[in-house]
Copies of this chain bind each other. A is one copy, B any other.
Amino acid sequence: MNSESSTSGVSLDWVDGETKVEEAPHDHGDETRLWLRLLTCTTLVETEVRRRLREEFDFTLPRFDLLAQLERAEDGMVLGEVSKRMMVSPGNLTALVERLVESGYVSRTVSPKDRRVQIIALTEAGRAAFRNMADRHGEWIGDMFKQLSARDGAALMKELGKLKNSIRATLSNPQ
């Protein structure tokens, strides 16, 4: 029904890990199924975006995400701030930024006020490249989401907002 198999495997013939993982005493089966469905949706979109970024622009998603963060910080951003916004470890950024500096999309300046601090910013080339990719990115997402009515989209947005609050509540107040 649904196959494709490229030389290097993977592709469209995935199957969904989405089924119950457990059925324990106090259950939580519903939440777990919901979580798995959430994860499935995210993985499907994310994988496709990665694939297209590579194919069309020979670019990676982490690099794209980094440019996206910088794009709305006209005067650049402190590295630590980027780390928080991207939800990745600071150590991760070191190499990522390095590569983007090398390719000329990003500039890196040591703050004159505090020599520990770095300010990262988009170069003109980076800004142009990003805008280009972001346009396509928007189209891809629009395409993948297109069967969802405006109504459903709004509902989903709202429900996800509630979920996000629920998660954050637990995270900031463990146990």
Interface residues of A (CB under 8 A from B): 2, 8-10, 12-17, 19, 21-22, 24-35, 37-48, 65, 68-69, 71-72, 80-81, 83-91, 131, 134-135, 137-139, 141-148, 150, 152-153, 155-157, 159-172
Contacts and interface: CB of A to CB of B under 8 A. Distances in A.
9 nearest A-B residue pairs (beta carbon)? A147-B166, A28-B142, A28-B138, A22-B134, A42-B42, A156-B159, A31-B145, A9-B90, A15-B84
Contacts of A26: 138-139, 142
B172 A12 contact: yes
A174 to B, nearest CB: 9
Contacts of A169: 147
A135 B40 contact: no
B134 A21 contact: yes
Contact of A153 (B34, B42, B141, B145): B34
26 contacts: A8-B89, A9-B89, A10-B90, A16-B85, A17-B65, A17-B68, A17-B85, A22-B135, A22-B137, A22-B138, A24-B134, A28-B142, A32-B137, A33-B157, A34-B156, A37-B157, A37-B161, A39-B46, A44-B87, A45-B167, A145-B167, A148-B162, A148-B163, A152-B159, A155-B159, A156-B156
